[in-house]
C-alpha cells in the first residue's frame, strides 16, 4: 500500500513484501521492569529452567548482561509488574546525541526515542510518556542536535504502552505526522489498554497500520517492519540502514523486550510468540548482516553510555557486529524459554 501526500515531495509508502506472514500472538510494558532487577543467580531454579538460563548466561558472555536480566522473570511466579513510574520519569534527562549520520537519540534515561533523518523529512520512533516529556526531551533534544521537530513526517510507535505513545499529542501539535502502529496494538489501544498510568498521555486515534514484511518509505530511507509479538500482541521491530561517512550498517531496533505479561491469561501463548519471534529475527539478522542492535529502553542497549563513549572513541560503539546481535537475540530467546518452563510448572 501507498500513502502519498499531494503537494509534498515526501512519499510515505508501505509495500507488502511478505504478504503471507501475520502476527502470531500477543505479549505486554514495564519494558524496563526487568532492567531494574539484579542479574540471575548462578543456580536457583528447577533443572528445565536452569538449562535455559545457563544457555542464556553462556550467550550473554561478559557484554550482554542487560538482556540476561530478563531471566529473572523465570525465578518468580507470573504476576503483573510493579512499576513506580514517577521516579523513572523524573530522572535527569541525558544529553541527546547522534549515533550515526542519519540516526539520533532523543530519549529519556528510562525510555528512548530515536530520530531517523531522511532526504524527505524525519521519522520519530516512539514518543515517550506524556506531552510535557515529549516537549522537554524529544523536542528540546532535537533542537539541540539541529533537527527541526516540525519536519517529523512519520511517528512509528513500537507498541501500545503509554511510555511509547504518551507524548504523541505534543508531536502532533508541532508537526503533522502520520502515526504508524500495528493493527493489533491499534485495536488494543482503542478497546482495552493492557496497562495504564496517570503519568501517561492518552493513546492517539487510529491512523496508519503496518504489518510484518511491509516497508515504511520516506525519501531515501526504507524501514522494514517486523512484527515481533510477545511484549504486546503487535510489537513492531524495525530494520533499517544507518550510515557513518561512507560506511553503511544494518540496524535492528527491537520494539518490546520485557516479559511483563505475567498477569495476562494468555501469557504462555505470548511467551511462545516471543520465542518464535526472537528465533526468526536471529535468522534475519544473520541473513542481513545486522551489526547494530538498539532498543527503545536504554537499560538494554546502553545507548546513553555508548553516546558518551562515542565522543572519544575511534570506533562507533553502536556497531556491535552480527555475531553479538545474534547472541543478544539468543539471550532473549533462552530467557523466554526459561520463563516458559517455569510458568508451565
Ligand atoms: Zn512496553
Cell of 47: 533443572
- Give the predicted TM-score (pTM) of the model: 0.89
247 CA distance to ligand 1 centroid (A)?
Answer: 32
311 CA distance to ligand 1 centroid (A)?
Answer: 30
119 CA distance to ligand 1 centroid (A)?
Answer: 30
H helices within the chain, ranges in order?
47-60, 65-68, 85-89, 131-133, 140-144, 162-165, 168-174, 183-191, 267-287, 298-301, 303-310, 322-344
Residues of the chain with pLDDT under 50: 1-38
Range of the domain at 39: 2-344
Q: What is the pLDDT of residue 45?
A: 79
Q: What is the pLDDT of residue 337?
A: 98
141 CA distance to ligand 1 centroid (A)?
Answer: 22
The Cα 148–Cα 177 span in angstroms is: 13
User: What sign for the dihedral angle of Cα 274, 236, 201, 124?
Assistant: positive
270 CA distance to ligand 1 centroid (A)?
Answer: 13
Specify burial of residue 308 (Cβ count, 10 A radius: 0-12, 13-18, 19+).
Answer: middle
The Cα 221–Cα 210 span in angstroms is: 16
Cross-strand partners of 100: 103
127 CA distance to ligand 1 centroid (A)?
Answer: 12
What separation in angstroms does the CA of 15 have from each of 19, 103, 217?
A: 9, 23, 9
The Cα 11–Cα 178 span in angstroms is: 11
Q: What is the pLDDT of residue 39?
A: 61
* Location of C-alpha cell 500500500: 1
Find all residues with CB under 8 Å of 58, minimum gap 6, and list them: none
Nearest to 151 by CA among 120, 181, 127: 120
Find all residues with CB under 8 Å of 280, minimum gap 6, and list them: none
Q: What CATH number is associated with residue 146?
A: 3.60.15.10
Cell of 68: 540476561
Q: What is the pLDDT of residue 42?
A: 59
The Cα 58–Cα 61 span in angstroms is: 5
Q: What is the pLDDT of residue 40?
A: 63
The Cα 239–Cα 225 span in angstroms is: 7
CB 122 within 8 A of CB 116: yes
Q: What is the pLDDT of residue 80?
A: 87
What separation in angstroms does the CA of 295 have from each of 32, 145, 281, 298, 329?
A: 11, 20, 14, 7, 12
31 CA distance to ligand 1 centroid (A)?
Answer: 5
Residue-wise pLDDT tens digits, 150-207: 999 999 999 999 999 999 999 999 999 999 999 999 999 999 999 999 999 999 999 9
288 CA distance to ligand 1 centroid (A)?
Answer: 26
Start-to-end C-alpha separation, the chain: 45
What is the SS3 assignment for 293? strand
- Number of compact structural domains in the chain: 1
Nearest to 269 by CA among 23, 11, 101, 68: 23
Question: Which chain residues have CB less than 5 Å from ligand 1, an ion?
Answer: 29, 31, 161
Q: What is the pLDDT of residue 41?
A: 63
- 3-state SS of 51-117 is HHHHHHHHHHCCCCHHHHHHHHHHHCCCCCCCCCHHHHHCCCCCCCEEEECCEEECCCCCCCCEEEE
32 CA distance to ligand 1 centroid (A)?
Answer: 8
Q: What is the pLDDT of residue 345?
A: 83
315 CA distance to ligand 1 centroid (A)?
Answer: 31
Helix-, strand-, coil-residue percentages of the chain, each rounded to 5: 35, 20, 40
263 CA distance to ligand 1 centroid (A)?
Answer: 14
Q: What is the pLDDT of residue 83?
A: 81
What is the SS3 assignment for 169? helix
7 CA distance to ligand 1 centroid (A)?
Answer: 36
Cell of 265: 491469561
Amino acid at each position: 500500500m501507498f500513502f502519498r501526500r499531494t503537494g509534498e515531495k515526501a512519499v510515505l509508502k508501505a509495500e507488502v513484501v511478505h504478504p503471507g506472514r501475520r502476527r502470531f500472538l500477543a505479549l505486554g510494558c514495564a519494558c524496563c521492569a526487568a532492567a531494574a532487577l539484579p542479574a540471575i543467580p548462578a543456580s536457583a531454579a528447577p533443572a528445565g529452567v536452569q538449562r535455559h538460563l545457563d544457555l542464556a548466561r553462556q550467550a550473554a558472555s561478559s557484554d550482554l548482561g542487560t538482556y540476561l536480566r530478563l531471566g529473572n522473570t523465570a525465578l518468580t511466579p507470573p504476576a503483573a509488574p510493579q512499576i513506580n513510574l514517577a521516579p523513572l520519569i523524573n530522572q535527569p534527562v541525558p544529553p541527546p546525541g547522534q549515533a550515526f549520520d542519519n540516526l539520533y537519540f532523543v530519549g529519556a534515561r528510562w525510555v528512548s526515542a530515536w530520530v531517523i533523518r531522511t532526504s524527505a523529512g524525519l521519522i520519530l520512533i516512539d514518543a515517550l510518556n506524556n506531552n510535557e516529556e515529549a516537549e522537554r526531551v524529544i523536542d528540546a533534544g532535537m533542537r539541540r542536535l539541529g533537527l527541526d521537530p516540525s519536519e517529523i513526517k512519520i511517528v512509528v510507535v513500537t507498541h501500545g504502552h503509554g511510555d511509547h505513545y504518551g507524548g504523541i499529542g505534543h508531536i502532533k501539535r508541532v508537526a503533522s505526522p502520520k502515526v504508524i502502529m500495528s493493527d493489533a496494538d491499534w485495536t488494543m489501544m482503542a478497546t482495552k489498554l493492557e496497562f495504564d498510568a496517570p503519568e501517561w498521555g492518552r493513546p492517539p486515534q487510529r491512523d496508519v497500520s503496518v504489518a510484518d514484511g511491509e516497508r515504511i518509505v520516506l525519501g531515501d530511507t526504507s524501514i522494514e517492519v517486523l512484527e515481533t509479538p510477545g511484549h504486546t500482541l503487535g510489537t513492531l521491530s524495525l530494520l533499517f540502514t544507518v550510515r557513518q561517512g561512507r560506511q553503511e550498517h544494518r540496524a535492528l531496533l527491537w520494539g518490546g523486550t520485557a516479559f511483563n505479561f505475567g498477569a495476562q491469561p494468555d501469557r504462555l501463548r505470548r511467551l511462545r510468540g516471543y520465542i518464535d519471534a526472537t528465533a526468526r529475527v536471529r535468522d534475519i539478522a544473520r541473513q542481513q548482516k545486522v551489526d547494530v542492535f538498539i532498543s527503545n529502553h536504554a537499560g538494554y542497549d546502553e545507548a546513553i553510555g555508548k553516546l558518551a563513549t562515542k565522543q572519544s572513541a575511534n570506533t562507533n560503539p553502536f556497531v556491535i557486529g552480527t555475531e553479538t546481535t545474534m547472541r543478544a537475540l539468543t539471550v532473549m530467546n533462552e530467557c523466554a524459554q526459561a520463563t516458559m518452563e517455569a510458568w508451565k510448572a
